[in-house]
A and B are shown apart, each in its own frame.
Chain A
Amino acid sequence: MLNTVQTNSPPQSALADSDSVPDIVRLEGVGKVFPATRKSSAVTALSSIDLSAPKGSITAIIGRSGAGKSTLIRLVNGLERPSSGRVLVDGEDIAQLPEDRLRHIRRSIGMIFQHFNLLSSRTVFDNIALPLEIGGMARKEIAERVTPLLELVGLADKRDRYPAELSGGQKQRVGIARALATRPKLLLSDEATSALDPETTQSVLELLKRINSELGLTILLITHEMEVVKSIADNVAVIDGGKIVERGSTFDVFTHPQHHTTKVLLSGVPGMQLPAYAQAHLSQERREGAEVVLRIVFSGPHATDPVLSRLTGELGVSLNILGGAVDEIAGKPFGTLFVSFLADEARLERVRSTLAGLNLTTEVLGYVA
C-alpha cells in the first residue's frame, strides 16, 4: 500500500538559508522583550529567532504553551513589534514601519485563529466580507468575491446563517474564507485546529492543504500538536523557551529528532515511543539471558522492503515484535518497529550493520528480561 503513495518533494528544505525559492517571511535575529511593569519584571519572550517561510510552502512552528509561538506569529503581521532584529515580509522590513503602512501590509496577510474570532452579529457572508469592507471595496464587488469563497470552503448553503448556528469546523471554514477574501500572499494560522475534534481537525487541515496547493498560498502556522505538523507541514521549527531549538524538513525532524523538546513533543505520535507495557520492563543494564530491544526506523524507498524476513532468514534471529506503526509524514512513507530478540554483542552488531546496509536507522533502547 505504501508504495502507491506519491513522494512529491516538498518545497526546498526551507528553514535553512537556501536557493531559488524566495522567502515570503524571513526573521533575522529577532528578539522580543516585554518591558517590566509594576506587577512583573521584564520578560524575554523570544531571543535570536531566525526563521524563513519559502513561497508556496507550509511552515509549522511547534512548541508547548508559553514557548513564545503566539508572540512569534504576531510579529509577522506587526501585531507585536520586535525588540531587536528584522522581520521581512515579502522583502520589506515591517519592524520599523509606521502604523498606517503596516495596516496596508496586513491587508495582504490573512490570519485564522484558535477560537475562530467571528463576529456574532454578522452572517457568514458578512463575516467573510468584513476584511473587504475594511479595505474599502464596493458592495457589488464584495459579493462577487465572497460567493466563490463560500463554494471553496463548502458553506454556500450557510451564507445567511449566524456563527452561533454553526459547528466548530464550519466556523473555522468561515474563518479561512474570511482570511482568503483579500487574496493574501501569506496565511497565518494561530492554533487553528486546537479547539476542534480530531475528525474536524483533519478536514480543516485538508482544506488548508488544498488551498496551499491550488492557490500556491504560503502558510505559516503555529501549533502544539505534532499530528498537525505531520499532516500538512513541509518544514518545521521547534520552539522552546523563546528559542528555536530545532528546525528542518518535517520528514527529517520526525524521523531523526535531535533536541530533547522535539522528542518529548513527538512522544505522543504513534510509533515514536516504545509501548508503555514494554517501557515498564525496560532496563539499561544488560543481564544474562536478557533480550535486546531495538527500534528500527524505516523511511524513504526502503520503507517497503521485506526487512524482517531477511533478518530471520539470513541471520537466523527470531524476533519479538513489541510495537510499531507505519505512517505518512509530509507525504512520505515512514515506519517504526520495536523488536526484541536474544543476541550477544557480535550478533547484535551483525543485525545492525545489515540494517544499516539497507539505509535503515536502528537504536538500542535497552534490555528486557
Chain B
Amino acid sequence: MSPEIAWLIVRATIQTLHMVAVAAVIGSIIGVPLGVFLATSEKGELFEAPITNKVLGAIVNAARSTPFIILVVAIIPFTRLVAGTSIGTTAAIVPLTIATIPFVARLVEASIREVDPGLIETARSMGATPMQIVLKVLLAEARPGITLALTLTIVSLIGYSAMVGAVGGGGLGDLGIRYGYQRFMPEVMLAVVVVLIVLVQIVQSIGDGLARRFDKRQRSR
C-alpha cells in the first residue's frame, strides 16, 4: 500500500472520529435530558405534561423513522444555516447530531423507566424536589443502562458516518466507497473495514467495562 493511500486512511479515520465525537457529545447533551423528560412526563409522573410528552414523542418517532440518507439531504437548508456550508465534514456533523438526539432519547427513556418506581416514591417521602429525584435517583440508578445506551449510540454513529460521503463529509465509509469500490482497490476496502471493526470493538469494550463498574445490583465483591 502506498504512503498516499495510508495517509488517506489515517485522514479518513480522523474525520470519522471527529464527526462521531462531536455528534455524540452534542446529541447526548440534548438527547439525555429529552429522554429523561419523556420518561417522567406522562400523566401522574414527576414532570406531568402529557400533551408535551405526546408531541415530543411524535417528533422523536418521525425523526427515527426517516432513513438517515434522506435526513441528510432533507435538512440541507438547516445544515447551511447552522454550519455555514452544506458540504464537508463540519456540515456532515449536523445531520449526524439530528439523528443522534432521538436515538439517545429513546434509549435513555427506556433505561430510566427500568428504575423501580418505589425509589421515586422513597425520594418523594424524603422531601426531594423533582430535580433532586432526577439527579440523585433516576440518573444514578440508570447509569449502567445509560452507559450502554451511549455505547450503542456511538457504534451506530460510526455506521451512519459512512453515509455522509453523500454531502462530501469524508470519513472511512466515504473512502471505502470511492477508492475501494469505485476505483477497484479492494485493499483499501479491506483496510477501511478492519479499522471500523477495531474502532467498534474498542468503543464496545470500554462501554461494557464502564457499565459493569457502575452496576452494583448483582455482584458481591
Contacts and interface: CB of A to CB of B under 8 A. Distances in A.
B140 A122 contact: yes
A103 B216 contact: no
Nearest to B132: A134
A164 B218 contact: yes
B118 A117 contact: yes
Interface in B10-67: none
B129 A103 contact: yes
B38 to A, nearest CB: 22
A153 B122 CA distance: 20
Contacts of B116: 115, 117
Given A119-B119, A120-B141, A120-B216, A104 B127 contact: yes
Nearest to A104: B127
B80 interface: no
Interface in B187-221: 214, 216-221
Given A79-B121, A117-B116, A117-B121, A165 B140 contact: no
A146 to B, nearest CB: 14
Interface string B115-133: 0101101111111110010
A160 to B, nearest CB: 10
B220 A119 contact: no
Interface in A177-204: 182, 188
Contacts, number: 66
A77 B125 CA distance: 7
A99 to B, nearest CB: 9
A368 B61 CA distance: 74
A164 B125 contact: no
Where chain A touches its partner, the secondary structure class is mixed
Contacts of B118: 113, 115, 117
Contact of A106 (B125, B136, B143): B125
A164 B217 contact: yes
B127 A107 contact: yes
A206 to B, nearest CB: 24
B136 A134 contact: yes
A267 to B, nearest CB: 31
Interface in B129-147: 129, 132, 136-137, 140-141, 143
A130 interface: yes
A109 interface: yes
Interface residues on B, range: 20 to 34
Contact of B126 (A102, A122, A134): A134
A121 B216 contact: yes
Given A79-B121, A79-B125, A130-B136, A165 B141 contact: no
A117 B128 contact: no
Given A115-B118, A117-B121, A121-B216, A106 B126 contact: yes
Interface in A76-106: 77, 79, 102-106
Nearest to A135: B127
Contacts of A130: 123, 126, 136
A32 B219 CA distance: 43
A133 interface: yes
Interface residues of A, number: 28
Contacts of A134: 123, 126-128, 132, 136
A104 B127 CA distance: 6
Interface string A109-138: 101010101011110000000110111000
A131 B214 contact: no
Interface in A123-181: 130-131, 133-135, 162-165
Contacts of A107: 126-127
Contacts of B218: 164
Contacts of B127: 102-107, 131, 134-135
A135 B123 CA distance: 11
A368 B27 CA distance: 81
A79 B123 CA distance: 11
Nearest to A105: B127
B143 A121 contact: yes
Contacts of B124: 79, 106
Interface string B168-197: 000000000000000000000000000000
Contacts of B143: 121
Contacts of B141: 119-121
Contact of B220 (A104, A120, A122, A164): A164
A113 B124 CA distance: 13
A188 B124 CA distance: 14
14 contacts: A79-B121, A79-B124, A103-B127, A115-B116, A115-B118, A119-B119, A119-B137, A120-B141, A120-B216, A121-B216, A122-B140, A133-B136, A134-B126, A164-B218
Given A105-B127, A122-B140, A134-B128, 7 more contacts: A102-B127, A106-B127, A113-B118, A131-B126, A164-B217, A164-B218, A165-B221
The 5 closest A-B pairs by CB, nearest first: A106-B127, A107-B127, A162-B216, A117-B122, A131-B126
